[in-house]
Amino acid sequence: MEIDEKVEPNYATVLVAETSPGDALAIRRMLGVFGLKTIVLVDSAERAIAFLGRESCDLVLTEYRLKDSNGVRLIESIRHSHPDTPVIMVSGINDERLIAAAIHAGAADFIPKDARLQADLFRAIGTALTPKPTTHVPTVEEIVAEHAPDAVQRANFDANWLNDPTTEGTHVEAFERSSLLAGAFGSEQWAAIVDAFADYIRSCADPLESTARTREDALLHAFIDHGLGPQEILRAYRGAVHELMIDPIFAGLNPRISLSAVLARILCRWGQDYQWQLWLQLNEPAA
């Protein structure tokens, strides 16, 4: 699409989160050239979330530096609360680490503010606003059940000690006494972490449960927010398994996915999220 080419009116609603008044007006002009009629400008993540909470929106554009947060965190919030709303980061920071962080958080695309801004923006918006065919995305449980039952059974057998709460050193009192990060939080908070892990495992094991991914995201955020490492995550996991072993309802189920596979998935996602959180902390915009 040429820079001055006009298109048919597009009545999609686009929300633009941008702190620079000049950049906001420039982007608004470009969106007008594209044919968009409803363009909403905000300068903070709080205002963006508030707008999405009361109005329908077809697309969000965000800078990285916002008044009260950053664009990566805004993307994460939108992916959690409005998973069907595409988000594109449009930033003056053309850094490979930021691009990777934005895509990892769920951005549909990353557009740098350079000489190709308008052309690249038109391309990305056209792609984002094109209706996607509905396809079934297989769950972890479905993939395991269909493609690798034997391998998972062998892995579960080899790592059975992880799931055995009777193993020495893992009795109930040990979980109740767990003191993490020099007493950073008490027994009630620790019990809440263990309960959340147990609920997540239940959701994975129940073929009728539809909130497994939401519970997984919440569990990982809790680990990151509290600064838990692999050792603490393993303790929480064993505590959750102990709860499930004494749960008469869960004990009667035949899970479609092994407990060891659940633990492996959680640890892998924790490792990825932890790296991004470290990078974001080191690159937090100045207040």
Going by C-beta distance under 8 Å and a sequence separation of 6 or more, which residues neighbour residue 278? none
Mean confidence (pLDDT) of the chain: 76
Q: Which two tokens stand for residue 245?
A: 């072993």
Q: Choose the weakest-confidence range: 14-23, 57-66, 141-150.
A: 141-150
Q: Distance between CA atoms of 91 and 73, rounded to whole angstroms? A: 14
- Give the pLDDT band of residue 1 (cuts 50, 70, 90): very low
pLDDT at 251: 53
- Give the pLDDT band of residue 47 (cuts 50, 70, 90): very high
Query: What is the average pLDDT across 37-64?
Result: 93
pLDDT at 86: 95
pLDDT at 282: 60
pTM over 0.75: no
Q: How many CA atoms lie within 13 A of 117 on its CB side?
A: 18
What pLDDT, in 10s, does the model give residues 199-221?
888 777 665 566 778 888 888 88
Domains and CATH numbers, the chain: 10-134 (3.40.50.2300), 140-281 (no CATH)
Query: What is the average pLDDT across 146-151?
Result: 51
pLDDT at 76: 93
Q: Distance between CA atoms of 243 and 250, rounded to whole angstroms? A: 9
What pLDDT, in 10s, does the model give residues 74-130?
999 999 999 999 999 999 998 888 999 999 999 999 999 998 999 999 999 988 888
Question: Beta-carbon neighbour count of residue 176 at 10 Å?
Answer: 12
pLDDT at 141: 57
| b/e burial code for range 2-27 (CB count within 10 A of at least 16 → b) | eeeeeeeebebbbbbbbbeeebbeeb
What pLDDT, in 10s, does the model give residues 163-192?
554 544 433 343 343 444 434 556 777 888
Range among 37-51, 160-174, 219-233 with highest mean pLDDT value: 37-51
Residue 156 reports pLDDT greater than 90: no
More confident residue, 141 or 42: 42
C-alpha distances (whole Å) from 91 to each of 36, 101, 115 are 20, 13, 13
Query: What is the average pLDDT across 67-79?
Result: 93
